[in-house]
Amino acid sequence: MLLGGLVLGWVALVGVRMVSGPELQRAPLTFKSGQTVAQTGAKGNPTVPLVVRPVLARASQIPFKTSKNIFAPLEVQATQEKVARAKSRRSVKEPPPEPVAESVAAPVPPPPPSPEEVAAQLARQQQELARRQLEQAEQQARQQKEQAAQQARQQMAQYRFLGYLTQQGEHRAFLGKGQALFIVRLGETVEGKIQVAAIDASAVKLRETTTNVETTLPLTKTIGGPS
């Protein structure tokens, strides 16, 4: 009887609760067909947590581990661990060393010349200048000498050997220049610059005293001239 009274009281309490409670409201469906749970939760209701799906790793991404035999002796296990560590070191590729940039040293300027070197260079330059001046002076002197010799030859070429005579064993020559006639002996000068250097029957030799240029005048054969 006690149990039946408790059951009736509980039923009456539930009925009163249902009658006096507010009416239940219907909410729209959150999940629809054709949509994933993550997209619906992100777009429809930001408060709905995202569903994380576990991703299985590929076999190529799983690092290789050497199987360990726990029943093997301790010495064999230590040897296997050393071999495994050596293989793992070889498998890890070390990055290539970065190229070391070679530092290019700036060219060192040559040291300035010493005062002795500067003085020696100036002396060489002065010697070279003096040598050139001497060569120019010698060249000018040769040219002047050649011009003077040419003028002396032209001047002596104006004379003519007209004849000669022997008087008391001494030879005399008859020289003509234009309308002038000169009777000269060996060693005498004509017009102050032309010296008689030699006289014979066929020619007479004249010497210009300034340049020492000599020329030989052959005997000029003339009708009725001196002999």
For residue 195, the domain's CATH number is: 2.30.30.830
pLDDT of residue 129: 93
Would you say residue 110 lies in a domain? no
Enclosing domain of residue 177: 120-227
Q: Contact at 8 Å (CB) between 90 and 102?
A: no
Low-confidence ranges of the chain (pLDDT < 70): 21-77, 87, 89-105, 221-227
Instruction: Determine the distance from the C-alpha atom of residue 169 to the mean position of all C-alpha atoms in its chain, rounded to a whole number.
Output: 90
Dmax over CA atoms of the chain, in Å, equals 215
Would you say residue 202 lies in a domain? yes
Taking the C-alpha atoms of residue 212 and residue 195, their distance in angstroms, rounded to an integer, is: 10
Would you say residue 76 lies in a domain? no
Taking the C-alpha atoms of residue 188 and residue 204, their distance in angstroms, rounded to an integer, is: 13
Would you say residue 50 lies in a domain? no
Would you say residue 30 lies in a domain? no
Would you say residue 48 lies in a domain? no
Give me the sign of the Cα torsion angle 11, 13, 19, 22.
negative
Q: Contact at 8 Å (CB) between 164 and 174?
A: yes
Would you say residue 168 lies in a domain? yes
Would you say residue 207 lies in a domain? yes
The mean predicted confidence, pLDDT, of the chain is: 75
Question: Rounded to two decimals, what is the model's pTM?
Answer: 0.41
Tell me how many domains the chain contains. 1
